[in-house]
């Protein structure tokens, strides 16, 4: 199986400039490929394919106007053209929307590195052709320091897949896949059911609950400071509103506004990382308990978000991210992950006698069975039903 690693880079100022240039080359190549496909389609031509577009780019590099492309790795433009062609194919086959041209403001700066050319050590990663000079003092620019020492496996026998350098608005990251052997435990405990909710993020059939971190003072204080900062930014923009000769209004971005925007990005990133780290802690705890299987429900999140009163709370819980982490962590350790049918009545069914209620409002936090008289926490009852879902499949 392939395990993906994501490590933050610590480039110096010269390296940052080169990284942004490489990302710009990838963006240009993507737009070039998309333009070629669209122009060919308008004139009644068939799908060009990345091979034909790369041949056209090779001829273009020989001209004086586009000779600057030779200063950068050929693999950057090669993969960008492949990505554009894949996006174009996916749109025509109905798997995705029609691809848009990338811009500096809208697109995320990123570029590809060749698996054979990239080199990783305990502390550094060597990127391909950041600097073309062969002098030793210049070659140092190709080696970028890693923020985490020894996190990515390295050596002669390690196989890498799809290395990408990505900028998230604050920092540069290296994302890379490594082929690893699946880990299996010698003995497993009994299976568990996991019920996701708003009051508590997760309730396990064993009786353990994981609270909603968005209700903690730490997160609420951070959200409040972000709101204040956003209001301050809005006032700054209104103060710097300029009317053009045509009567249109434009906003002038001052240095103070740029500073506030950077601060707002840092705070939003901190809030996102707090939630992400908490989800990782929960999913790792569940997997390390070595359950034979894990049962989760197939939530209709898009339908749940239509509830105006609960949409914000549901969005903050990041159910999709929880399910994504459980999927790959269970697969890595040989644990079977079962997704219950969307219409399985886990909340309305009594875990003791199997009686199903016709109606169950959101305000009823305690499940009371009319048939056997059992009373239990609503979420715990649902998680036990999810655990027993495997028996109903047999």
Q: What is the pLDDT of residues 350-388, one digit of tens each?
A: 988 888 888 888 888 899 998 888 899 999 999 999 999
pLDDT average, residue stretch 113-141: 88
Per-residue confidence (pLDDT) for residue 166, from 0 to 100 = 97
Per-residue confidence (pLDDT) for residue 147, from 0 to 100 = 96
Pick from 112, 115, 48: which is nearest to 77 by CA? 112
Residue 114: strand, helix, or coil? coil
Q: Is the pLDDT of residue 240 over 80?
A: yes
CA distance 386 to 281: 22
Q: What is the pLDDT of residues 61-78, one digit of tens each?
A: 999 999 999 999 999 999
pLDDT average, residue stretch 187-201: 91
Q: What is the pLDDT of residues 167-187, one digit of tens each?
A: 998 999 999 999 888 777 777
Per-residue confidence (pLDDT) for residue 326, from 0 to 100 = 95
Q: Is the pLDDT of residue 111 over 90?
A: yes
Q: Is the pLDDT of residue 133 over 80?
A: no
pTM: 0.84
> What percent of the chain stands above pLDDT 70?
99
The band of 139, judged by pLDDT with boundaries at 50, 70 and 90, is confident
Q: What does DSSP say about strands 249-251 and 209-211: parallel, antiparallel, or unpaired?
A: unpaired
pLDDT average, residue stretch 207-228: 95
The band of 243, judged by pLDDT with boundaries at 50, 70 and 90, is confident
The band of 394, judged by pLDDT with boundaries at 50, 70 and 90, is low
Per-residue confidence (pLDDT) for residue 342, from 0 to 100 = 86
Q: Is the separation of the CB atoms in 176 and 3 below 8 Å?
A: no
Q: Which two tokens stand for residue 227?
A: 């709101």
Average model confidence (pLDDT) across the chain: 91
For the chain, counts of helices (H) and of strands (E): 11, 16
Q: At what angle do helices 255-288 and 319-332 cross, to 10 degrees?
A: 50
């Amino acid at each position: 199986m392939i395990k993906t690693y994501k490590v933050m880079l610590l480039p110096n100022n010269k390296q940052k400039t080169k990284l942004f240039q490489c990302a710009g080359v990838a963006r240009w190549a993507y737009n070039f490929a998309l333009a070629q496909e669209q122009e060919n389609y308008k004139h009644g031509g068939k799908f060009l394919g990345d091979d034909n577009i790369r041949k056209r780019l090779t001829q273009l590099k020989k001209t004086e106007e586009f000779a600057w492309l030779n200063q950068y790795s050929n693999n950057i433009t090669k993969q960008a053209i492949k990505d554009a062609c894949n996006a174009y194919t996916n749109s025509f086959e109905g798997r995705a929307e029609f691809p848009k041209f990338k811009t500096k403001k809208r697109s995320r700066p990123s570029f590809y590195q060749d698996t054979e050319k990239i080199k990783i050590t305990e502390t550094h990663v060597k990127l391909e052709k950041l600097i073309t000079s062969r002098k030793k003092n210049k070659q140092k620019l190709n080696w970028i320091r890693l923020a985490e020492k020894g996190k990515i496996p390295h050596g002669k026998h390690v196989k890498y897949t799809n290395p990408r350098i990505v900028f998230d608005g604050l920092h540069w990251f290296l994302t890379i896949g490594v082929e690893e052997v699946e880990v299996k435990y010698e003995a497993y405990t009994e299976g568990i059911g996991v019920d996701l909710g708003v009051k508590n993020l997760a309730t396990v059939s064993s009786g353990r609950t994981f609270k909603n971190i968005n209700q903690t003072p730490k997160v609420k204080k951070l959200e409040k400071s972000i709101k204040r900062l956003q209001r301050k930014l809005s006032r700054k923009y209104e103060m710097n509103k300029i009317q053009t000769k045509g009567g249109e209004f434009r906003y002038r971005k001052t240095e103070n506004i740029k500073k506030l925007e950077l601060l707002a990005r840092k705070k939003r990133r901190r809030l996102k990382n707090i939630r992400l780290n908490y989800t990782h802690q929960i999913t790792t705890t569940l997997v390390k308990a070595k359950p034979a299987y894990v049962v989760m429900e197939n939530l209709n999140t898009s339908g749940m978000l239509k509830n105006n009163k609960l949409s914000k709370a549901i969005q903050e819980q990041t159910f999709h991210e929880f399910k994504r982490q459980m999927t790959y962590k269970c697969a890595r350790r040989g644990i079977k992950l079962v997704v219950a049918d969307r219409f399985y009545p886990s909340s309305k069914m009594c875990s003791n006698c199997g009686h199903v209620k016709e109606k169950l409002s959101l305000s009823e936090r305690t499940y009371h069975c009319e048939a056997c008289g059992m009373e239990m926490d609503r979420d715990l009852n649902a998680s036990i039903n999810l655990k027993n879902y495997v028996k109903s499949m047999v």
